[in-house]
């Protein structure tokens, strides 16, 4: 059995909501549709939280190099 890889924690979240924190301070949550090894992310039904508040943005492609961390939503305390 191969070693676990860090990205496996997101692979198992496909079709579920994840939370993403970006380097510019923005936060995006949405349903994980696709990801790659650079951590480029495609989220659907996404919501953006920035300095202006919360906004629905639907589908979004997040560039991997702008990601700080990403978490499956289910275990995050409110």
* Binding status of residue 66 toward its own copies by CB under 8 A: yes
| Residue 49 lies near its own copies (rule: CB under 8 A) | no
The whole-angstrom separation of Cα 15 and Cα 18 is 9
Q: Classify residue 33 as exposed, middle or buried by CB count within 10 Å of its CB (0-12, 13-18, 19+).
A: middle
For the bound state, the minimum distance from the C-beta of residue 77 to its own copies, rounded and expressed in Å, comes to 4
SS3 74: helix
Task: Confirm or reject binding of residue 31 to its own copies (CB under 8 A).
Answer: no
Residues at the contact surface with its own copies, assessed by CB under 8 A: 3-10, 19, 21-26, 28, 33-36, 39-42, 46, 48, 55-72, 74-77
């Amino acid at each position: 059995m191969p070693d676990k890889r860090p990205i496996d924690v997101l692979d198992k979240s496909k079709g579920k909501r994840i939370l993403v924190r970006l380097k510019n301070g923005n936060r995006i949550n949405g349903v994980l549709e696709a990801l790659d090894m650079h951590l480029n992310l495609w989220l659907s039904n996404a919501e953006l939280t920035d300095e202006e508040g919360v906004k629905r943005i639907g589908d979004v492609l997040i560039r991997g190099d702008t990601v700080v961390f990403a978490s499956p939503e289910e275990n995050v305390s409110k």
